[in-house]
Amino acid sequence: MSRKKHTPEHVINKLREAEVVLAQGRTVAEASRQIGVTGQTFYRWRNEYGGLRIDQVKRLKQLETENTRLKRAVADLTLDNQIFREAVEGNF
């Protein structure tokens, strides 16, 4: 089975479709089947994106990407700092 990478906009649209189906009195299994995902994926999406608008999700993803980049930069600088300290102390 191939894995699909859904965009946040696509996920929100699918969640809206599922909410319509659920409002009609159908089960979560039927709603998730109609939008083409498993029940587990539906619940994960709902926990992550539930109640958000598309612009909010885009901003959230931008912030997550920026946070990852900054964490990597801090890790690199910390490593450089440790190397410099060892070199100054003569432990090389």
Question: Model confidence over 24-74: pLDDT tens digits?
Answer: 999 999 999 999 999 999 999 999 888 888 888 889 889 999 999 999 999
Question: Looking at residue 5, what DSSP letter applies?
Answer: -
Residue range of the domain that includes 16: 1-52
Alpha carbons 58 and 41: distance in angstroms, whole number: 20
Q: What does the buried/exposed string (b/e) look like for 42-63 if buried means 16 or more CB atoms within 10 Å of the residue's CB?
A: beebeeebeebeeeebeeeeee
Residue 40 and residue 62 in one domain: no
pTM metric for this prediction:
0.62
pLDDT score of 81 more than 70: yes
What is the structure's pLDDT at 80?
A: 93
More confident residue, 2 or 7: 7
Q: Which domain CATH number covers 18?
A: 1.10.10
**Could you tell me if 37 and 70 lie in one domain?**
no
Structural domain count of the chain: 2
**Do 2 and 43 share a structural domain?**
yes
